[in-house]
A = this chain, B = another copy of it.
Amino acid sequence: MNDRKFFEEYRTGETRETTGRTITESDIVLHAGQTGDFYPHHMDVEWCKTQPFGQRLAHGTLIFSVAIGMTAGTINEESLTYGYDRLRFLRPVFIGDTIRVKVTITDKRPHRQPDKGMVVEGVEVVNQHGQPVMVCEHLLLVNRK
């Protein structure tokens, strides 16, 4: 679905939340295959048993990619991803954990291009226990009307 939303229409404090998605062993195997990261933290059950976390962990880049993808429901043709700041992995995500993403508009600021403004989305990924597992700031360059 397409939608048009200009800089002026974003409201600080606005929030939206996605449905949930369970991170599966398949997701981890496919992500290793896409990235070439076959570290034993993700791929070796026996080694993981010897570690404090005791089991395989999802890749950070998997959680980031899936979380950003989960927020990508509606296309805003007036907006463009400028980048991401302060991406942090707060807790491990294990196989079988279910994540949801909460997005909050945390800031709006002018941009050196006068026909655009910067919108900051605070992205918070939580697991099925409501614990935050990842956060970042998504910077959007949005057209002014």
**Which positions in A face B, CB cutoff 8 Å?**
1-2, 19-22, 24-27, 29-40, 43-47, 56, 59-62, 64-66, 68-70, 72-75, 81-89, 96, 98, 128
Contacts and interface: CB of A to CB of B under 8 A. Distances in A.
A17 to B, nearest CB: 10
A25 B26 CA distance: 7
A24 to B, nearest CB: 5
A132 to B, nearest CB: 13
A33 B21 CA distance: 13
Contacts of A33: 30, 32-34, 36
A65 B1 contact: no
A36 B70 contact: yes
A34 B27 contact: yes
Contacts of A96: 45
B22 A45 contact: yes
A96 B48 CA distance: 13
Given A30-B30, A47-B20, A37 B72 contact: yes
A112 B75 CA distance: 40
